[in-house]
Amino acid sequence: MYDFKPAAGADPAEIHRDLCAAADALTAGEPDGVANMANVAALLWEFLPDLNWAGFYRVAPAKGGGGQELVLGPFVGRPACIRIPFGKGVCGTAAESRATQLVADVHAFPGHIACDAASRSELVVPVLRDGTVIAVIDLDSPSPARFGTEDARGIEALAALLAPRI
């Protein structure tokens, strides 16, 4: 049985180091990317307070053909948008730009897609394999400005760890 939890009173840098170590322990040697994303979504939920959604969107062929889009992957939280075009919303912007999106107020983000009206801030980190976006890690919070640069760095390290495993 696994019981991964952050240490009580740990600072954000320590929480993210422990999160990456737990993710490494759970995903090392497991070839199934969906299983790895599912376990990591659960870890994100356990390790990071004040979330209302944590999970993945995967890059897949667009439903109507002609390119790629993000498709819902494993997550913890309320039901979510299933497909997001590249360049649309926070997730699509992260995928298209291949850059982390740290958004203090989602309502001020141009083209924000409100899958859950309770979300107020968001952190989306692209997962890159050989320079190509294969997924994004998406974290939502009901609190404004929930995420900071330490969170961004921690989730970027997690994305780098997971890139060959999902």
Q: Domains in the chain and their CATH numbers?
A: 12-165 (3.30.450.40)
For the chain, percent of residues with pLDDT exceeding 70: 98
pTM for this structure? 0.94
Transcribe 106-130 into DSSP letters.
GGGSTT---SSTT--EEEEEEEEET
At residue 1, the pLDDT reads 52
Q: CB–CB of 77/51 below 8 Å?
A: yes
At residue 9, the pLDDT reads 80
Task: Pick out the chain residues at pLDDT < 50.
Answer: none
77-86 tens-digit pLDDT: 999 999 999 9
At residue 2, the pLDDT reads 67
